[in-house]
């Protein structure tokens, strides 16, 4: 489901810069920030970087971009 929302021009321009650096569209960047903000509020005891790593891991799982992990074996 999509919806039209109004956002400030400074937010859109900031998102445009970050989106380019992250390889996302402006919409994807704003959605990422929204998911990150929600996760931070829902998990106040976790650090922002940890939550970012968890979101990246979830994305990798959905894209099936994971390599098998073998316990006790360093590669």
pLDDT band, very low/low/confident/very high, at 67 (cuts 50, 70, 90): confident
For residue range 11-27, what is the model confidence (pLDDT) as tens digits? 999 999 999 998 999 99
How far is it, in rounded angstroms, from Cα 64 to Cα 7? Answer: 33
Q: Which structural domain, as residue segments, surrounds residue 54?
A: 9-62
* Residue 21 within any structural domain of the chain: yes
How far is it, in rounded angstroms, from Cα 18 to Cα 61? Answer: 23
Asked if 22 and 29 count as a contact pair (C-beta separation under 8 A), the reply is yes
For residue range 45-64, what is the model confidence (pLDDT) as tens digits? 888 888 888 888 888 888 88
Residues 6+ apart with CB under 8 A from 32: 22, 24, 55
The values of phi and psi at residue 5, to 5°, are -130, 155
* Residue 46 within any structural domain of the chain: yes
* Residue 3 within any structural domain of the chain: no
Domain count of the chain?
1
* Residue 39 within any structural domain of the chain: yes
Q: pLDDT at residue 66 above 70?
A: yes
pTM for the model stands at 0.66
């Amino acid at each position: 489901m999509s919806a039209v929302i109004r956002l400030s021009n400074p937010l859109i321009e900031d998102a445009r810069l970050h989106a380019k650096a992250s390889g996302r569209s402006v919409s994807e960047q704003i959605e990422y920030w929204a998911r990150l903000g929600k996760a931070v509020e829902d998990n106040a005891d976790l650090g922002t970087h940890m939550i970012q790593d968890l979101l990246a891991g979830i994305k990798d799982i959905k894209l099936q971009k994971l390599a098998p992990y073998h316990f006790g074996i360093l590669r």
